[in-house]
Chain A
Amino acid sequence: MLENFLTQFWPATVDGLSLGAIYALVALGYTMVYGVLRLINFAHSEVFMVGTVAALFTLTTIGVSSPLGGLALIAMLLFIAVVAIVASGVTAIGLEYIAYRPLRKRGGSRLAALISAIGASLFLQQLFALIVIPQLFSLPQEGGRLPVHSPDWVQRADVINIGDFIVRNDKLLVVVAAVVMMVALDQFVERTRLGRGIRATAQSPENAVLMGVNIDRIITATFAIGGAMAGVAAALYLMRFEETNYFVGFLLGIKAFTAAVLGGIGNLRGALLGGLVLGLIEMYGSAIFGSEWQHVVAFVVLVLVLMFRPTGILGESLQQARA
């Protein structure tokens, strides 16, 4: 077991970071919404799924004659990322308007919002399985639950090749893209007016209103940003796996939420850290114990961290982001 770990250390590290980067991007959506609204947005996994479907539809519509490499790959990635950002962002905003805002306006309890979130998640899954996917990809109605494959558009090549440390272009792109988005978001929250509004609302909604912050707009922006991050994750996921299905958000959503909690829920940097750490833990655990233990390892670690440090690794919340 241990020798497995040693021989596979570098590949496991590379794969873990690449996997964790996608977790981190999706975790941002969970952590931001929780920081501002104290709501766990269970439907965020479907926001991600919608992004993957939109990106895949774009790919099949454009049509790719042969796998792309280098700059062409990055250009295509950016293009489908924009499409996915729009799709996921719109879905997230739509969710807010339909599933959460009415409850908020009527002073609903947080439990009511949580149940609404679960309902919205199920609704979106089945909507896509029964109607959207068959329509978009010209499948018979029963085919909506099958995985949908994108045309082969990624030319995989090893970018770094130092002995055991081999980094493939798509894995590197995933990590780089995630880190770039994270830094951008972090700066946005710290320096812009809207970011300040988000931090204020996270700290205390009542006082933020007194200070002249438009809470509704802040909340919509929060959902939109979380959705946009999920859209980027969706494009990257499509680059890595070249397929999607109506249920893809489920396991990934749970893992991303775990990552958010691991890093400190409500903490943006915690989402990044939690995602990367979770990815690494899963890969190392798989190398040591066997691939079937991948998920078990992830959740056991979560339980341990929460037992000894309940606020997560970084602990602090959105409202206390370092200036």
Chain B
Amino acid sequence: MRYRAIVRLGVALAATSLVLAACGGGGEETGGGTATGGTSQAAGTVKLGLMGDLTGENSGIVIPLRNAAKMAIEDYNATNPATKIELVEYDSQGVPEQATSLAQQAIKTDKIVGLIGPAFSGESRQADPILEEGTIPSVTASATNPGLAENGWKYWHRIVGNDNSQGSGVADYMTRALGVKKVFVIHDNQEYSKGVADVVIETLKGSGITPQTDVIDPQGSDYASTVNKVKAAAPDAIFYGGYYAQAGRLLKQLRDGGVKAQFLSGDGSLDAGLAKGAGGNNADGAIVSCPCLIDPTGKAGPASKKLSEAYKAKYNAPTAIYVGEGYDAATAFIEAIKNGNTDTESINKYLATIDVPGVTKQIKFAENGEPTTSDVYVYLFKGDSYSLIGNTKDAEKPAA
């Protein structure tokens, strides 16, 4: 009898300590935890949050911008300023529910003064109202859904073009430069995916093309019925709205199924993961649009070349999607803090009037938080990497 009681007590203690360790450890991982605490961060250090999918299956879209932001902040801290910035990372894995609870933690426990992100549109939709309520200014470098700007939020900003311009840009490129007549549009019903696909469909309709559509399950792995539909429709081009993990799988199954049509996708697919998921050389010739500028050769301007070189030197990896935008988002906050603004209200006020040159564009926000300028670019995949074709307004069809 006593033995049983001891065993039970031991199990209970072990379980409790596991739970406590998990909570504490979890806090550590999401980078909140044990810092200086206290409500006033006026002197010394302020906390800047960064939220996105850092370890999930589409983290390839977010890790580069995190690295770029980190680089910008570390460079700033190295100048020994009056107020240093501590970057606190929140790994939401792109899941809206995780993003909302992390946002609560960021506001209440960690007391961040600003947030870079959230990185994806789905999580932005859920987490931004919480940030707005907490009066935390945010600058997203990658959430491109246009609906985010239409909520009348005062603390939300975006440093990248939205999907209205991306969708219409890539659709115009398809009709103008690629001369397609029959298009098949696929998406996975997520906030971002459906958004960009719908704009592509609308723009194509305006040019006289009515695309056929289908929807895949982002968590499934067998797209056989979609492949069959595409084969039956025999389009000139297929546009997929969504992220690279699913795009790669879809492209693989399409090519394996004998579909040779031109494959296009949006910025969620602008990652080597598209080629890896597609396997072999199935991704060769795929064209991916992005409101972001990835320009290691400085085709569009010297600033992006300089950033690409610095990024490569620091992280031993080539510049990638949203590096420029992540750097610019961090720069916006750095400028605000440099100019003596260290609480959320004054930072937000500063962001409303900021007007400095960034790597990808002029860092200047309209009243609704959108950037004042935005261009859409297209990239061509070959092997595991992609290269800039040009601006959707004037780029031509890439050589075969």
Contacts and interface: CB of A to CB of B under 8 A. Distances in A.
7 contacts: A11-B231, A142-B59, A145-B55, A146-B59, A147-B57, A243-B249, A290-B214
Q: Which 7 pairs from chain A and chain B are nearest by CB?
A: A286-B225, A15-B224, A292-B215, A142-B55, A11-B228, A152-B280, A291-B226
Given A291-B215, A291-B217, A294-B217, A242 B252 contact: yes
Nearest to A252: B221
Contacts, number: 84
Interface residues of B, number: 32
A311 B17 CA distance: 45
Contacts of B258: 158
Contacts of B224: 11, 15, 18-19, 283
A241 B221 contact: yes
A314 to B, nearest CB: 25
A117 B229 CA distance: 39
A147 B59 CA distance: 12
A236 B303 CA distance: 50
A103 to B, nearest CB: 15
A8 interface: yes
B283 to A, nearest CB: 12
B220 A294 contact: yes
B277 A243 contact: yes
Given A152-B279, A242-B252, A243-B249, A15 B57 contact: no
Interface in B350-400: none
B10 to A, nearest CB: 17
Contacts of A242: 252, 279
Nearest to B256: A156
Interface string B94-109: 0000000000000000
Given A8-B232, A291-B226, A149 B215 contact: no
Nearest to B216: A291
A159 interface: no
B219 A251 contact: yes
A196 interface: no
B280 to A, nearest CB: 5
A294 B220 CA distance: 10
Contact of A15 (B215, B216, B219, B228): B228
Interface string A130-157: 0000000000001101110100100010
Contacts of B214: 290-291
A295 B217 contact: yes
Given A149-B277, A242-B252, A251 B220 contact: yes
B98 to A, nearest CB: 13
B254 to A, nearest CB: 12
Interface string B188-230: 0100000000000000000000000011110111111110110
Nearest to A293: B215
